[in-house]
Structure 1
Amino acid sequence: MYSNDGDDSDTPNKLLDRDIGGYVKGLVEYMVTDDFSITPLSLISVMSRLNICNNAESTTKLEVKTVEFGVNEALRFLEASFRSERVLSEVFLVRDELDVVVVA
């Protein structure tokens, strides 16, 4: 997803870090939602997502969940992607929690 073609010209908004060969320098956390929208984790992105939900009852049930993604999760993720639009919820939430998940 990045180019390391040897062009050293400075262009606006260029995020490529040539020393480490990637777009992001350092540790960055992301927010991934059930509809697979991926945004850098920030107050603005969280507030934007809450505005999309726009339901006082549903926002009281929101929580941050940090998960590990290994081989078993990848297989469950692949299987769930064929039968559901709520893949992340199905893979990473306990069955009882699925009833309270908000999908905007």
Structure 2
Amino acid sequence: MTYQDSLTALADSTRRQIFEHIARAPSAVGPLADQLPVSRPAVSQHLKVLSDAGLLVVEQQGNRRIYAVDTNGLKELRQYLDTLWDDVLGAFADSFEKDD
């Protein structure tokens, strides 16, 4: 997966909410659906998109699937954002040097 896949998956506000819930604590579909204004099947579809984007891992616990954040998927997104941040800081520093 690429950082573009991650950004596309997180562009949807409901998926972002689901991802943020899971970032706080791994969860099954039911508890997530109870906290959100969407149906259980909709939550499952959003979880699939997040998983396909490399942002979540799934662990089978009995008959339940527990979703957790995939740190490897976040690593590529973080590297991309860090590059942007470095560019912004570099431009900011350059603007001060030009003013001197």
TM-score (norm 2): 0.28
Select the structure with the greater relative contact order (CA < 8 A; seq sep ≥ 6). 2
More helix by share: 2
Which protein is richer in strand relative to its size?
A: 2
